[in-house]
Structure 1
């Protein structure tokens, strides 16, 4: 690895770890460029030499807290016998974790972070490869996808091979389930509904199961 690349990654980590400390100690609302730079021991101008905008620093820092979720996904998927069951279980795991930490999952999966967001996932896991060292090899490509629709596509594609759904139904299932989750997360984030994380998970999963298991009754794309 070139010295320039090594230095760049080292500097990235200084700022990312500083931002992660602020999130952990003060919360997302307290993050500013100046605070991150001061905590890392540099000035704001130096930070901008390595990051295009604040949202990128927040994204990378948020990823430092995602490992409990990625570890749990593996456990959930092992409970399913078919791809459809695994798809539903994957959503249940996401709901469980995201509804308990809505700001964190919004920062990673929904916040505007500019062009080519998937490349940020690749860059993160290049620097912090230990975060996915125990993750199944066949599922690692999914981790580089920010879009929930793209993340679910591979499982639904396998479900068509198993004869459980038809290929033209993949898009409908993916879009509807993603919209249900996204809507609930936004409601929790904005405190629009007085639901506990468990209640929100139960409600979301009821809709997702109805969508997936009753797809043939839906008229979309038919």
Structure 2
């Protein structure tokens, strides 16, 4: 890495860590460009040299706060004996964490990030490569994928290749399970639930399992 690249990474980290501090103290909705710049010890014009949109700052800061999720899903998936087992384990972990921290997951996986949002995930792990140290090689491509719709596709493809589900059901299953999560997530974000988060987690996982059982060979 060149000196210029190192300097850029350091500046990114200053602003990202300042954003994380604001989220801890006030919540992600209270993050503003001016607050972040002031906290980092720079002016807003300097910040805009590194981040073109406020949503990008929120994305990177939210990723920093999802470390517990990454560690847990990495550990739990090791217990899955088949691709379909790992697919369900991954969903259960993702549902639990996303429903309990909906605004953080919204900033990473749902919020409009402008052009080429997929590159932000790759950039994040370039700035914080240590977060991939304990992640198995086969799981790393999934972590680089921001699109929830695409994240589970590799496991479903392996499940189809091993004869667990019909190949023609791979895409429908992927779409159905993602739409189930998105629907419940939207209800949580908009405070439209008639029951608590625990029940939302239980129902969502039940619906996803029903989709899987409907096509399992």
For Structure 1 versus Structure 2, the TM-score category normalised by the shorter chain is: over 0.9
Question: Which portions of structure 1, spanning 4 or more consecutive aligned residues, are displaced by more than 2 angstroms?
Answer: 194-197
Asked whether the 8 Å contact 2:14–2:40 carries over to 1, the reply is yes
- Name the counterpart of 1:22: 22
CA deviation after TM superposition for structure 1 residue 148, in Å:
1.4
Normalised TM-score (structure 2): 0.96
Aligned: 1:118 with 2:118: yes
- Contact 2:56–2:113 at 8 Å: present in 1 too? yes
Q: Distance in 1 between matches of 2:33 and 2:156?
A: 41
Alpha-carbon RMSD across the aligned residues, in angstroms, is: 1.1
Mark the runs of 5 or more structure 1 residues left unpaired by the alignment. 217-222
After superposition, what is the alpha-carbon deviation per residue over 1:4-35, rounded to whole angstroms, capped at 9, x for unaligned?
Answer: 11111111111000001000111011111100
Q: Equivalents in 1 of 2:192, 2:69: separation in Å? A: 25
**Structure 1 counterpart of 2:212:** 212
Shift of 1:178: 0.4
Give the equivalent residue in structure 2 for 1:135: 135
Q: Deviations over 1:12-70 (max 9, x none)?
A: 11100000100011101111110000000011111101111110011001111111101
Deviation at 1:122, TM superposition (A): 0.7
Task: Report the alpha carbon displacement of residue 215 of structure 1 after superposing the two structures with TM.
Answer: 2.9
How far 1:93 sits from its partner (Å)? 0.4
TM-score of the pair, normalised by structure 1:
0.94
Residues 166 and 215 in structure 2, CA contact (< 8 A), matched pair in contact too: no
Deviation of the 1:139 alpha carbon: 1.1
Deviations, residues 165-206 of structure 1 (Å, cap 9, x unaligned): 122211101111001111111111111003322211100001
